[in-house]
Amino acid sequence: MTNPLLATDSYKQSHYRQYPPEAQQISAYVEARANPFSKNVLFFGLQAYLKNVLLKPITAADIKQAERVCAAHGVPFNRKGWDQILKDHDGLFPLEIKALPEGTLVPSGVPLVQVTNTDARMPWLTTWIETALLRSVWYPSTVATLSFKCKEIIYRGLLATSDDPDAQVPFKLHDFGARGVSSAESAALGGMAHLVNFAGTDTMEALEAASTFYGADMAGFSIPAAEHSTMTSWGRDREEQAYANMLDQFADPGKLVAVVSDSYDIDNAVETLWCGSLKERVLSSGATVVIRPDSGDPVATPLRVLETLWTHYGGTTNGKGARVLNPAIRLIQGDGMTLESIRHLIEALVDRNWSVDNIAMGMGGGLLQQLNRDTMRFAMKANAMRTADGTWTDVAKNPASDPGKASKAGRQAVIERSGRLTAARSDQVLADEDLLQVVYRNGELVKDWSFEEVRQRAQNALLSAIS
């Protein structure tokens, strides 16, 4: 499904007949309204939409197909408007899009994006792109925000228990969500959003997306790891041989290998095998073996396994007074990890003098799929209309039945006051105060953020939040 003329809601096909006759330009903005999930949103993902959609011209074939579909579907089709875009703009959308720098942590209620049509014949075009534009922003921004909130919890735990928290944190939350999302595009965009905060992923579509849309050489990393099928295919009576094979194949000096160990009984596997018959092979390999429980209580189970490993492998007490296991052995907890269970696990580790160095966490569908547009109440709303005399008039909604859905009137700016971003009317601030930057104009990408720039902004936001 690649026809951009069909990437909208059906009812928007009739909107070109609905704006007032004097309308020449419509301005609209995107924000995450006040919501119970997060006071801030980590803005990310717009550039992927710009490059993947708006930099590609529409064609006569697109128009012909969309006209045929709309006629059969029972909605009007703006053939004249699309022909004008094709002929007068070489098939590229005559829009100006302003946005905050991606990777910025933004308070809810502050505009992230503002869109205006640049061809006075096409005031309908601004809100026509709402469907595709909004989903290109709400989804990766919500994933990035969830990932950021997890990172803040983990980083605080590392600051309390690790001698080198900055080196540890990039690989403390691993993305296992590719199989749990609704599409490959979701895997790419959501997985890439997680990589703004961390460097561990098994979602390979995200690597391609980060390269294609943000120029990343290699945005994420993984290690050889077992799954239940590769362990249980050996049979229960050969469980030890299954683990030994993992050591033979992957446990080279300086390398890491992860082995799921709860196919039958995690406590027996750890006590009898990893801490018994296989212990010397682990120690002599020079590798780090990462044991993965995949069932049981997501807090109690890893804590119990850590205690068993400490009893048999020992370790050291670091400068924070926290226990660090022998470097030959580590743990990853990928089952049942949510924002809350991560919080509880980190708190338990700190309380029991365990360094967070000892453990990594993983998330799957909970990271990339169990959220929606209403998680952070994302919306795109018209805020101003310009008429032929150049006058901008306010446009806004203010439903008496739900004041929380009131929208902003007047073209918006984003300014910084006392170290905090806030919304303001653009006609009430100086132009150089406005942090919204032109990123797209009339088919050209004006600003091209690199993945490293986005990551650095997010990291600066984390350090600011921690302080």
Q: What is the pLDDT along the chain (467 residues), one digit of tens a residue?
A: 689 999 999 999 999 999 999 999 999 999 999 999 999 999 999 999 999 999 999 999 999 999 999 999 999 999 999 999 999 999 999 999 999 999 999 999 999 999 999 999 999 999 999 999 999 999 999 999 999 999 999 999 999 999 999 999 999 999 999 999 999 999 999 999 999 999 999 999 999 999 999 999 999 999 999 999 999 999 999 999 999 999 999 999 999 999 999 999 999 999 999 999 999 999 999 999 999 999 999 999 999 999 999 999 999 999 999 999 999 999 999 999 999 999 999 999 999 999 999 999 999 999 999 999 999 999 999 999 999 999 999 999 999 998 888 999 999 999 999 999 999 999 999 999 999 999 999 999 999 999 999 999 999 999 999 98
Q: Which residue has the tokens 């990893």?
A: 274
Are 331 and 306 contacting, i.e. CB atoms less than 8 angstroms apart?
yes
Name the DSSP letter for residue 200.
B
Regarding beta strands 288-292 and 329-333, do their DSSP bridges make them parallel or antiparallel, or are they unpaired?
Answer: parallel
Give CA torsion, residues 165, 169, 172, 174, to 10 deg.
Answer: -170
Distances, alpha carbon 125 to alpha carbons 6, 76, 322, 438, in Å: 13, 15, 58, 18
- Which H helix or E strand runs over 95? strand 95-99
Question: What residues does each domain of the chain span?
Answer: 142-368
Provide the β-strand partners of residue 416. 421
Nearest to 143 by CA among 198, 93, 89: 198
Residue 277 in tokens: 């018959």
Pairing of strands 173-175, 113-117: unpaired
DSSP E strands, 133-255: 173-175
| CATH architecture of the domain with range 142-368 | Alpha-Beta Barrel (3.20)
The answer to whether the pTM exceeds 0.95 is: yes
CA distances from 403 to 33, 44, 409, 418 (A): 12, 28, 14, 28
User: How big is the chain, counted in residues?
Assistant: 467
45 CB-side CA count, 13 A = 30
According to DSSP, residue 370 is labeled S
